[in-house]
Structure 1
């Protein structure tokens, strides 16, 4: 029985959802802490109100192999974001007001549809600003028998307090660890205090689920950390890898990602001189450096790109 099923049966999941919804009235769901009343229709940085906003959903085969398996990861792409990355490859979803607002009942039905299609998990993509709605939808879906693992797939800019409401609900955390420097995170993603917030969030995630556990090739529990290599090491990969190894676990599963390419505003030019390197893809040497940082820190799982 999934952990969220037991929480549903005890009534604790419904109580968690109520506590999470209370955060929306003076919103502190994510680290932006906008203090707007989303229940009254006000919107803050994420430009989202009381309803979940979904861009698309269905089996996805482009995720990490332990999530995809044979039948795919059942991704639910939430619209909008609590960051504004100038190089975002999904900017039409995250920053251009795409998607449709749906009820939590409809979100629960989407999850059940994904399970019926044979996907190995429910993969919530960009969920940080919709934690209350996710909790309520999971409670509704659990009442109808949902029984596959839940994946929380975020940019790493999460509130540790909000994540505690997901303890026992989420089976697999898959956060980004984007940056090792706050000034770069603020300039490129409008994410104040990113490093401190990300590190606190990843510690909480790891406390809840531990290192990745794979059974018959499929992830069932644990944590996958993603790190996107940026040109000229703007992501400070050595800082990120050292944190993962020393403060989480040397058995952490880390995906060192090589797919950076100029997109969104990074492709338009006109940026500060310190960031003009973002107008080109990374080099093979830049990627090898990030992998070497991981290995020299004692990490040994992942790096498969």
Structure 2
């Protein structure tokens, strides 16, 4: 497979040494009910979450570092096996099927979703670093898009994720998500059944980036809610310390959270604000 699925457009043969650390076969590291998403995603029963290995975005602080960088290889699955996993999760009570970092396996995921129509919403849980053309191949198969918008500052995207094109690329991708799914729609129990919800993770020492990101979201995506996350936990390279970014070896302070939260309210953005209590290694799933 000559791969051009993500914005890096590397054209690499998928042999495992690719920028996304993925071979041609789909691999997953965890499939389980997950209770730590936003309330209208997790609900009471949990979100049926499937974590895929590899990732096109190289975040040096990634909470899923072991699987995003290929250190935990996970389990190879066929589209048929993946479809069976979806239905096993649904039988377990999952409110939805939540695809985490599936970019590098979109063709196989698409095939799995087309085999049997799911009786619950499909969530595409993404870093925001996506090709519009790849997202278009999922139209009609994804009900809810849950993208990050990590950086408004180009240099931060370059230094921390090797993606200087992140801001513009993510804006373009999220516009495509909004075109497909629109603003959120909820059922009678308050569970999200359709739409887009944008996440932003506050990075310690970088409230200016967060405020700029919120301003951009308010300008580009009116009516789309934001989930403001304070869960940052030093992980990956950040756990040992990153040169020129020593602040990433600590958690977000209460003052930093309140500063960004105030900006969220001043901009009139709707959504969710996560408590700082949600930070810590105990909130990072175990991968196999």
Name the TM-score, length of structure 2 as normaliser: 0.90
The answer to whether the 8 Å contact 1:174/1:226 transfers is yes
Partner secondary structure for residue 120 of structure 2:
coil
CA distance in 1, matches of 2:198, 2:208: 14
CA distance in 1, matches of 2:16, 2:57: 18
The answer to whether the 8 Å contact 1:59/1:71 transfers is yes
| Residue ranges of structure 2 left out of the alignment (5+ in a row) | 276-288
2:44 — aligned with what?
A: 70
Partner secondary structure for residue 232 of structure 1:
coil
* Number of residue-to-residue matches in the alignment: 273
Query: Could you report, residue by residue, the CA deviation over 1:1-55 in whole angstroms, capped at 9, with x for unpaired residues?
Result: xxxxxxxxxxxxxxxxxxxxxxxx43110111110233xx475211212221100
Cα offset, 1:234, TM superposition: 6.0
Partner secondary structure for residue 53 of structure 1:
strand
Partner secondary structure for residue 239 of structure 1:
helix
2:94 is the counterpart of 1:119 = yes
1:37 — aligned with what?
A: 13
1:52 — aligned with what?
A: 26
Query: Could you report, residue by residue, the CA deviation over 1:40-80 in whole angstroms, capped at 9, with x for unpaired residues?
Result: x4752112122211001011111111011121100001011
Query: Could you report, residue by residue, the CA deviation over 1:268-296 in whole angstroms, capped at 9, with x for unpaired residues?
Result: 12x333x1111111111111121122222
Partner secondary structure for residue 231 of structure 1:
coil
RMSD: 1.5
CA distance in 2, matches of 1:37, 1:128: 16
Which 4+ stretches in 1 moved above 3 angstroms?
none
Q: Cα–Cα, structure 1 residues 189 and 234, in superposed 2: closer, same or farther, change >3 Å?
A: farther
Cα offset, 1:258, TM superposition: 0.7
The answer to whether the 8 Å contact 1:107/1:137 transfers is yes
Name the TM-score, length of structure 1 as normaliser: 0.85
Tell me which protein shows more helix as a share of its residues: 1
